[in-house]
Chains A and B, each alone.
Chain A
Amino acid sequence: MLKWAQTALSRRSLLGGGVAALGATSICTSTTVAQQTHSGDHGAAASAVKSGDVAPAHRSAHGSMITVGAVDNARNGFDPTSMLTDWYTGELSDLPDGRKLRSFEITVEEKEIEIAPGVMFPAWTYNGRVPGPALRAAEGERLSIKLINNGSHPHSLHFHGIHAARMDGVPGAGVIGPGEEFVYEITAKPFGCHLYHCHALPLARHIHKGMYGLFVIDPDPARHPDHLEVAASRLLGFPENARWQELAMVMNAFDTNFDGENEFYACNTVAHCYAKEPIKIDKGRPVRIYLMNIVEFDPINSFHLHANFFDYYDQGTTLTPTLKTVDLITQCQAQRGILEFTFEEHEPGLYMFHAHQSEFTELGWMGMFDVQETVS
């Protein structure tokens, strides 16, 4: 008689209401450390949720569909909120020919980072952070970027820009071994919202491990007399730029069990970081987002803004929008662009943004703008 019960169960690949799941072992270097550090966090996080006398702000929008706990930003060495406005502008100097030289230094470091509360990921980082530093330069400047490889694998910097083949950061042209250094010398062009990433092989592993960052080249107003004001508003440090609230956002994801599918999606690495700590926006000033998608394993990612529309500059290489008045854009891997919008006419409040692949959203890639009358 057991046949019936057994068949009914096995038909749904299930036996006895319990399935033994075999463990996938992840490849990370010092999990003991991870477990020790986590044991403190988790208890606190779980009890905070349980006590529940004051519901956290994000619960109003997400109910209980969210990761539990908080990430230790101090241990990670980077904070998603400060990363939004943390531009690496390098050292500026003058060249004999009168041009400007901007020098950067980037060090490769292998590091365990906490990508979601309690979940450690063995990352390969540029300057100890994922995404790597958001480089920012002005159109036409000479750039000198020194890469120091303190990792255990070959690495490189491959810039999306216009440059010589020998500066391309591919094997044979700027991929350097452990302990080596290389200086990439390129000219900042074309202006736009670009990226850099490691182009050592295998590519997918090097990218997915965290080796990518924004590479923003601001337009030189002098070269764009037709769009002088727009160009000036994009040039960091110019008075016209000061009133803009500029945010660096990198849509990324992590495959923590190395099965070729991502377990966590995020904007700037930490799942749900801007849901738990909404981004403060001054409603009187316009917002400009430098957005890029570097998600590995999924063909596409997207950005959807709630209760508002924006203009979009695909790759940022134009001074007039490539898409006007949209509330959703899609980006394939390495695609990037500039979003411009304002909350001037809106009432203050929490305005959500997220990928409109619900799966990505629910696996961590969503956040909130906290629009306020004046940001203190």
Chain B
Amino acid sequence: MMHEKIDAAPVTGLSRYLWLLLPAAVLAAAIVWLLQANPLQGFNNGAPPVENLTIERTILDHDGLRLLVRAGGSDPMMVAQVQVDAAYWEFSQEPQGPIARGDTAWISLPFPWVLGETHNVTFVTNTGATFDHEIAVAVPTPVATSGSLWSQGILGAFVGILPVAIGLMCYPALRGAGQRTITFLLALTVGLLAFLLVDTVVEALEFASASAPIFQGSVMVVLTAAASFLILMAVGRRRGTPTGLALATFIALGIGLHNFGEGLAIGAAFAAGSAGLGTFLVLGFTLHNITEGIGIAAPILKVKPSLLSFVGLALLAGGPAVIGIWTGSLAYAPQWTAIALAIGAGAIAQVIVEVCGLMSRSNGQGIKALLAPASFGGLAAGVAFMYTTAMLVKI
């Protein structure tokens, strides 16, 4: 944490606020002059306005297609005509009229889409510019029915809760472990968290790049991750550096936030028609995430938490996957997935810092503990295990 001292001028409260009037007045004058005198007219070279349209959500149902579009042009944009598969279709827009910069509108078309096939939607603006959107595989957008929530919940449990629970079940076996083993396990946790951190940041940036430019995706991801990291650090250290159950809880929270983002992405894949989720893949996810449970168990090997704590930790780390799949399947805009993943990345960075802190303090060796063979071995094992098991689910 950095602390800076700023030399504040000894001004009284009132005059300080009066001084604020000067920059405000200059800004107001500049705006008025720009609008009134139009001094930038010389730049008007007859070029058309820059237009940008991002398609954020695609809903397919028995009425046809509904698409949420966000305008990002230099001027308000007008969707003049809409093609589906190179044919003009009647459409209605809600709200009607030009779409202001940053605003969204729903475009609805009574289009008879074909199950399992690809459709291409093209928006033609009044200047004749076109914006394409591919519906890769047309499937009805999931609606929240009890049946679909149940099956998605089962999937979430398999990829989120079950592996964490299985990992935590190693706890009794690890209880009697010596210092070297504990160091190894903590380093293993750092390794798997490092893998997840890289993975999450990359995913977040990819979703960010699919979102409307107005959100400045990559900056948004970095800032969100940094904020998430700092807030969790501050909260975690209110009562000193977290150890034991507190640290395990933070690890579970970080993994849980990460799993929420993953759940969103899986749900989005459902909404986009990537339906063929095989048993093998689900088992792959389960195996891939088992280390998460071991990681959560590592800091509490020297304390005796209640059984309820274990249930709580498993739900905290794995449960968000279920919520993420539920939310993601409703085809939410990519920037939300990016933000969720970025929050997860910040949380993971926080627990990496705290687990490393714990390792360096644990046997009084300080930073040297991180360089011991057990630590190196654990780190390498964690990363290697995550990487290898990720191959199972890589298509």
Interface residues of A (CB under 8 A from B): 1-9, 11-32, 34-35, 38-39, 42-43, 46-47, 49-50, 63-69, 116-121, 254, 256-257, 259, 263, 271-272, 359, 362-364
Contacts and interface: CB of A to CB of B under 8 A. Distances in A.
A121 B54 contact: no
Given A1-B289, A256-B124, A21 B394 contact: no
Contacts of B393: 1, 3-4
A71 to B, nearest CB: 11
Given A116-B80, A257-B128, A20 B212 contact: yes
B381 interface: no
Contact of B51 (A7, A23, A359): A23
Interface in B340-395: 390, 393-395
A123 B276 CA distance: 49
B333 interface: yes
Contact of B137 (A12, A23, A120): A12
Contacts of A5: 262, 265-266, 268-269, 274
A61 B132 CA distance: 27
Contacts of A263: 83, 122, 124, 128, 130
Given A20-B54, A25-B47, A116-B81, A35 B98 contact: yes
B53 A23 contact: yes
Interface string B283-298: 0110011000000000
Interface stretch (B166-174, B199-207, B299-307): B199-207
A5 to B, nearest CB: 4
Contact of A23 (B73, B91, B211): B73
Most buried by A among B48, B80, B89: B80
Contacts of A12: 118, 134, 136-137, 272, 274
Contact of B57 (A18, A32, A359): A18
A118 B269 contact: no
Interface in B112-132: 118, 122, 124-132
5 contacts: A4-B393, A12-B137, A15-B206, A18-B210, A21-B52
A28 B78 contact: no
A50 B94 CA distance: 11
Contacts of A256: 124, 127-130
A9 B80 contact: no
B61 interface: no
B50 interface: yes
B80 A117 contact: yes
Contacts of B209: 15, 20
Nearest to B54: A20
A20 B76 CA distance: 18
Contacts of A34: 126-127
B347 to A, nearest CB: 16
Most buried by A among B98, B127, B137: B127
B90 to A, nearest CB: 4
Interface in B68-112: 73, 75-76, 78, 80-83, 86-93, 96-98, 109-110
Contacts of A65: 87-90
Contacts of A4: 266, 269, 277, 281, 284-285, 393-395
Contact of B88 (A6, A15, A67): A67
A23 B48 CA distance: 12
Contacts of A363: 83, 86-88
Contacts of A35: 49, 75-76, 78, 98, 126-127
B97 A39 contact: yes
B147 interface: no
B124 to A, nearest CB: 6
Contacts of A119: 80-81, 124-126, 128
A49 B58 contact: no
A281 B52 CA distance: 45
B271 interface: yes
A116 to B, nearest CB: 6
Contact of A8 (B129, B288, B395): B395
B126 A64 contact: no
B265 A23 contact: no
B183 interface: no
B96 A46 contact: yes
Contact of A22 (B52, B78, B289): B52
A1 B159 contact: yes
A375 B35 CA distance: 57
A3 to B, nearest CB: 5
